[in-house]
Amino acid sequence: MVWPLNNRGHNRRISPNCGPTAWTLAAATALLAVCLAASANPLPEPTWTELAQLVPRFAEAPSSEAGDTLAYLLRVSPGAVAIRKNAQIVEANFDLFAPYLIEAHRPGVAWTIAPGVADLYLQMADRPQRDAMLEVLRSWLLTSAISPEVSAKYEQVAAVSVEDQVAVAEILSDAGDTVAIPAMRALQATIPKGSGAWVHLDQAVTRMSAALEAGFLVPTEESGVRLARGPEDATVMVAGRVVSESVAAGVFHELGKAESHSKTAMTRGGVIVRIEFADGLVGKLTWSEGSSFVYTDNARQNEHRRTRVGVRGWGLVAVIGEVLRANGMEDHPLAK
């Protein structure tokens, strides 16, 4: 079967001399990073090469047989569609590739979830295509996720792991798919409270249902920070030592007054402040330089999407320095 191309520009031919679009550049970066990170068991180079070579051939001479091969190769080596030329081809012929991208995301078909592929699909899809992908992704959250049709079609199917279910939940959350919330909550109820998977599912729902309550620290447009939680249910540690309630309140107060900035690459030493919440959410501050720190947390399973914020405040340095000196750590730069 040959899938028809639409009339929205997706059937335009790619000129060898045309420059990459913004989506293509994003695809080449995001897909490679995310797909490589998702591959727990890297496959032999021929598999990647086979898919990389199949994309342009399929665009030139589409067939149902070639499409099935495309879906199969996408399930085991999705990063091959990210090279610049192939990203352009997929973008230009999106309606042609869409059904097979959906097939490659069915439970049991994909060996592992590569969030970047689904993300970019959802960015490019029209409403019916988007709804079709969201329906397939939601099926991952069900108890019996692998359909008999999938089991019959493939010689081997991949088990549905909690890790992949969480990865799908985060994709659905970022897509704003509130229809998936009941299934996310049902899955969350089967997981021990406070575990990593429980936290990630809880945060995925919260980002959709009560966005201001998600996470802990986020930068504001005014170069400040917003704290979504108070110190009441938090355990605060400075240099690995639990501090008193009054000191914890001081840390929260100074964090709330801190500035945010974009310089988050350089850090020195380990985590200087660790904030653990009763539900399992953990925020960390690592010292950068001067009065600057890098904030990270565990609100997401996908490390490439985790919050990373540069924060700066001399008041925060003062609170930390006082704790360091009280614990005989006068030699630490922040204690001076």
Query: Is the pLDDT confidence value at 8 over 50?
Result: no
Q: What is the mean pLDDT of residues 133-154?
A: 91
Residue 218's closest CA among 301, 279, 283? 283
When pLDDT is cut at 50, 70 and 90, the band that residue 272 belongs to is very high
Q: Identify the pLDDT of residue 82.
A: 65
Report residue 77 as tokens. 């080596």
Q: What angle do CA 265, 231, 246 make, to 5 degrees?
A: 105
Is 80 exceeded by the pLDDT of residue 7?
Answer: no
The pTM score is 0.82
Instruction: Count the Cβ atoms, other than its own, within 10 Å of residue 33.
Output: 14
* Mean pLDDT for the stretch of residues 142-165: 88
Indicate if the pLDDT at residue 219 is higher than 70. Answer: yes
Domain boundaries along the sequence of the chain: 1-155, 164-214, 217-335
Lowest mean pLDDT among 10-24, 142-156, 221-235, 250-264: 10-24
Confidence of residue 183 (pLDDT cuts 50, 70, 90): very high
| Residue 302 per-residue DSSP state | -
Residue 284 Cα distances to 164, 240, 257, 280, 309, angstroms? 25, 11, 17, 13, 10
Least confident of 26-30, 45-49, 63-67, 266-270: 26-30
pLDDT of residue 46: 56
pLDDT of 305 above 70: yes
Arithmetic mean of pLDDT, 24-36: 43
Please report, in angstroms and rounded to a whole number, the separation of the first and last CA atoms in the chain: 72
The pair of structure tokens assigned to 297 is: 């947390």
Specify the residue for token string 């899938």. Answer: 3
pLDDT at 33 over 90: no
Please give the full DSSP string across 165-228, using - where no structure is assigned. HHHHHHHHHHTT-GGGHHHHHHHHTTS-TTSHHHHHHHHHHHHHH-GGGSSSEEE-TTSBEEES
Question: Within 10 A of 229 (CB to CB), how many other CB atoms are there?
Answer: 17
Q: Which residue in this structure is represented by tokens 């012929």?
A: 93
Average pLDDT over residues 54-62: 91
| Residue where the block lists tokens 């690592």 | 286
Average pLDDT along the chain: 85
pLDDT band at 91 (very low <50, low <70, confident <90, very high): confident
The per-residue pLDDT for 96 is 93
**In the prediction, which pLDDT does 6 show?**
33
Q: For position 156, what pLDDT does the model report?
A: 83
% of the chain surpassing 70 pLDDT: 86
Neighbouring C-beta atoms of residue 65, cutoff 10 Å: 9
Kindly tell me if the per-residue pLDDT of 75 is higher than 50: yes
User: pLDDT: is 312 or 2 the higher one?
Assistant: 312
Q: How many residues does the chain have?
A: 336
Note the Cα 12 to chain centre separation in Å: 32
Beta-bridge partner residues of 110 = none
Residue 201: name the closest of 164, 246, 228 by CA: 164
Taking residues 224-251, report their average pLDDT. Answer: 96
pLDDT grade, residue 67 (50/70/90)?
confident
Q: Which region among 7-11, 23-27, 152-156 has the lowest average model confidence (pLDDT)?
A: 7-11
Say what the pLDDT of residue 20 is. Answer: 37
Average pLDDT in the 70-85 region? Answer: 76
Q: Check residue 143 and report its DSSP letter.
A: S
- Can you give the pLDDT at residue 124? 86
